[in-house]
Amino acid sequence: MNKKIFSSIVPFVLAGTLGVSTAMGHTNTDIYSGNWPSSVSNNLDVAVGTSAQGYLLRIQNAASAWNGIEPALNFSSVYTSSSTDTSHVARVNVRGADLGVTGLYADTSNYSYSIIWGYTADWSAEWKDSIVRLNTNTNTTGNGLQNLSYTRIQETVTHEFGHVSALKHNSNTTEDSISIMRQYGFNDKTTPLSHDVSMIQYKY
C-alpha cells in the first residue's frame, strides 16, 4: 500500500473484494451501482469552497473533461462558495482538507440522504451530493497536492471527478494504462482515457 496515490473512501474499504479478473472493454465491474437522479446528472453544479479555491482552474478543467462523453452526464457550472466548507448541499462540493503528510492526495465520497440517518457516504444509493477533498497539507515532502506537478495535480482532480461520476478504481490493473481511474501511480494524463470513456458510456 506504500504506493497508494489515489483513493476514494469506499474503494479503499472494498479493495480486498475487487480481485475478480475482467476482460478489457465493456464491463460493469468498474462502476458503482449508485447513481445520480437522471433529472440532475446532466446538470451537476460544482461548488468550490474557500479552502480549495487555489485549485479552481484545475477543478474547472476536471469538470469539463468529463463532459461530452455522454449527454446524461454533465457538469454544468463551477462556482466558488464558502458554504461548501461546512455543510452538505445538493451538488458536488470541493473542499481543501489537511489529509495528513502521508494521507491521500485527494478523496471523494458520494452521499445519499434519509430523514432518519441524514447524509451518509453510500456508493450504492441514489446520490444527493458529493464531497471531494483535496489534501492541503503543507509539509514540503508530504502528500499535499501542492507537491505534485501541474499535470499530476490535474490528473488527481480529474480522477476524483471520475469517482463523482460513478467510476471505481480499475478492478484489473492491466487497464491502468488506459484509465485515469488507476488506484496507484500516475499516467501523466489530464483527461479521461479510453477505458474511462467506455465505463461512462456503459453507465449512462
Interface residues toward Zn ion, by CB under 5 A: 6, 8
β-pair partners for 196: none
Nearer to Zn ion, 81 or 184 (CB): 184
Least CB distance to Zn ion at residue 13 (A): 12
Least CB distance to Zn ion at residue 116 (A): 29
CA distances to 14, 47, 166, 184, 191 from 67, in Å: 28, 17, 14, 25, 10
Nearer to Zn ion, 45 or 176 (CB): 176
Question: Dihedral of CA 58/60/65/66: which sign?
Answer: positive
Least CB distance to Zn ion at residue 37 (A): 23
Nearer to Zn ion, 83 or 173 (CB): 173
Residue nearest Zn ion by beta-carbon distance:
6
Scored b (16 or more CB within 10 A) or e, 123-154 reads: bebebbbbbbbbbbbeeeebbbbbbbeeebbb
Least CB distance to Zn ion at residue 7 (A): 5
Helix axes 150-164, 56-66, angle to 10 degrees: 50
Nearer to Zn ion, 128 or 163 (CB): 163
Nearer to Zn ion, 49 or 162 (CB): 162
CA-to-CA distance for 79 and 143, rounded, in angstroms? Answer: 26
Least CB distance to Zn ion at residue 191 (A): 16
